[in-house]
A = this chain, B = another copy of it.
Amino acid sequence: MTNETGESRVRLAIDALSHRYGDELAVDDVSFGIEAGELVALVGPSGCGKTTVVQSIAGHVRPTAGRIALHGEDVTGVPPEDRGVSIVFQRSTLYPHMTVGENVAYGLDARGVAPARREALVSKHLELVALDDQREARPTELSGGQRRRAELARALAPSPDVLLLDEPLSALDRTLRIRLREEIARIQRETGVTTLFVTHDQEDAMALADRLVVMNEGRIVGRGRPRDLYESPPTPFVASFLGRANTFSATVLKSNPLTVRRGDETVEIRGVKADVSDDSTVTCHVHPEDLSVRPAESRATNPSIRGTVAHVADVGRRYDVTVRIGSGEDLVAEQVSSPPAVDDDVAVAFPGDRLHLFDRDEGRRVPLSAV
């Protein structure tokens, strides 16, 4: 999975990339690689620097420092037209003065593909995105989803070494987004094109990508398979960003079995020990679906925290129960059925192995292990 395993398989390598706009460091020492055929998502909130990374890879921004390599060859100074990197932007860049077919053929013409072969390639790629019958249409006649698909066909037609998708779904409605996401997954499987998918939407990223690279404030703050990052987030930011912010702070009383104190409440997490010094303050994160809400008096095996129900939102397929566990500290529990009433005193329980602990000062993950 990592680019150390086999140097020859790495299609795209970003090495110590940094970029400054004036005084502002937009990208700070970013390094990652993509193997041939992989679909990697670069994900992070708006303004985290991911678009600058993409623009550097495409060659539209010259980075202040660092190196971009394709097939192991340094392309940092190579102009965009000589890189073999296709790009699809958030907003449509189809040429309004050309038909859909001419748009798809555009990149082929640049490479001097013979007319017969060009027609065949255009047909093949229009079929791939199910737009064969829109070949003579103008981009303005297409729907939003069709326009996205036409752009994909145009980007794929010249068989790029790397396909960059820069927030291709962000301007779309949720229904259309999910449909197009599945379409992109299918097309990537069928073509096997090495793809970097850039998005601020963690759901899109996790649904599509083999691997995630999470950025925040110009730096990489996490990388790995979606499930690994979700189940063992390396920082509180990754935990909140991939799931939903759901944290409380506590003080470690004992590290084996892990016992923490919040206010006047002591919570023992049986069967778990933590690699942390006593008396250190930690930030605890639990994903909302790992929490369950019970009547306050009930005592079960799972560790729990007392609180009062502040709000119950009926989301249709589940209830989001907000429990106030202290001044300004709320936990949200996702409950499938029988929600409590507002103002009920409740206990919020969680399986001990679903707790994530982070060092308060440095934000690093505290390793937990079964006893």
Contact = CB atoms under 8 A, between A and B. Distances in A.
A278 interface: no
Given A207-B313, A226-B314, A317-B289, A201 B185 contact: no
A241 B175 contact: yes
Interface stretch (A54-62, A153-161, A242-250, A260-268): A242-250
Contacts of A244: 178
A336 B178 CA distance: 19
A173 B201 contact: yes
Contacts of A316: 206, 226-227, 229-231, 242
A303 interface: no
B320 A207 contact: yes
Contacts of A243: 317
A179 interface: yes
A317 B230 contact: yes
How many identical subunits does the complex contain? Answer: 2
B174 A202 contact: yes
A200 B174 contact: yes
Nearest to A182: B322
Nearest to A289: B317
Contacts of A208: 313
A287 interface: yes
Contacts of A176: 45
A242 B186 CA distance: 24
A124 interface: no
Interface string A203-246: 10011100000000000000001110111000000001111110
B174 A206 contact: no
B185 A200 contact: no
Contacts of A280: none
Contacts of A314: 206, 225-227
A311 interface: yes
A189 interface: yes
B245 A315 contact: no
Contacts of A320: 207
Contacts of A317: 230, 243, 287, 289
Contact of A173 (B200, B207, B230): B200
A46 interface: yes
Interface in A153-197: 173-176, 178-179, 182, 185-186, 189
A176 to B, nearest CB: 8
A144 interface: yes
Interface string A307-347: 00001011111001010000000000000000000000000
A225 B174 CA distance: 20
Given A46-B144, A244-B178, A245-B179, A315 B207 contact: yes
Return the 10 tightest CB-CB contacts between A and B, nearest first.
A230-B316, A226-B316, A206-B316, A173-B200, A206-B315, A207-B315, A227-B314, A45-B173, A174-B201, A227-B316
19 contacts: A45-B175, A46-B144, A174-B202, A174-B203, A175-B241, A185-B313, A186-B311, A189-B311, A206-B314, A207-B313, A207-B320, A226-B314, A226-B315, A227-B316, A229-B316, A230-B317, A231-B316, A287-B317, A289-B317
